[in-house]
Structure 1
Amino acid sequence: MSENGGRRSQAQRDAITVEIGYALFSGAFAAAVVFGAFAGPALLFELPGGLETLLLRTGLVVAPVLFVARVVSVLLRFRQSPQPSQPGRTSPDS
């Protein structure tokens, strides 16, 4: 975890909280957009029964899958990226 006995600093906890919030918000937004793209025409227009059902069910399946995929990808990327020692500054090697 960290050098001070395995406990995270307040800044680390804040960064994790912000990243979780970003992951949830961006996942929900992406899922809503995809659901709207699939199910929107079925909700707005008179379509044949089979096509309307297909579009709604596709939206109901794809949206949660996209939500989970987005949340997992954001959190894994956060976990794997090294945090800069001095935010806003580059290292002398770069």
Structure 2
Amino acid sequence: MEHHGGRRGQAERDAVTVEIGYALCSAAFAAAVVFGAVAGPALAFDLPAAFSVLLVRAGLVIAAVLFAVRVVSVLLRFQRSGQPSQPGRTRPDS
């Protein structure tokens, strides 16, 4: 969003709000899926205690890292893409 000086319009603020919401929701979903895939066997089956703890902790760490990476990547991609100059219109090169 290339906005030099001045205030952002309502449409720009709404676009940023929607993008932040999308980044958080998609990151939470991806983190939950990865946590379930990594820690799921430890929660579903009767595994040795040390192995269960290892899987759950690994799932938490991987899910947290994935959450942060997903949020940052979505917001950076949004920042680089810019927005159409008029609502409802796309740029000719898009």
Structure 2-normalised TM-score?
0.86
What is the RMSD computed on CA atoms of the aligned residues? 1.9
Whole-angstrom CA distance in 2 between matches of 1:2 and 1:61: 37
Whole-angstrom CA distance in 1 between matches of 2:59 and 2:51: 12
- Can you give the 5+ residue segments of structure 1 that lack an aligned partner in the other structure? none
Please give the residue correspondences for 1:1-94 in structure 2 after superposition, counting only pairs within 5 Å.
2=3, 6-86=6-86, 87-91=88-92
- Can you give the 5+ residue segments of structure 2 that lack an aligned partner in the other structure? none
Q: CA separation of 1:65/1:51 partners in 2, compared to 1, >3 Å: closer, same or farther?
A: same
Measure how far apart 1:84 and its partner are.
Answer: 2.3
1:22-51 per-residue CA deviation (whole Å, 9 max, x = no partner) reads 000001101101110111110010112221
Measure how far apart 1:88 and its partner are.
Answer: 4.5
Measure how far apart 1:89 and its partner are.
Answer: 4.2
Structure 1-normalised TM-score?
0.86
Measure how far apart 1:53 and its partner are.
Answer: 1.3
Structure 1 outlier segments of 4+, above 4 Å: none
Equivalent pairs counted in the alignment come to 92
Whole-angstrom CA distance in 2 between matches of 1:52 and 1:11: 48
Whole-angstrom CA distance in 1 between matches of 2:38 and 2:17: 32
Measure how far apart 1:90 and its partner are.
Answer: 5.0
Instruction: Considering Cα pairs closer than 8 Å and 6+ residues apart, tell me whether 1 or 2 has the greater RCO.
Output: 2
Whole-angstrom CA distance in 2 between matches of 1:85 and 1:61: 41
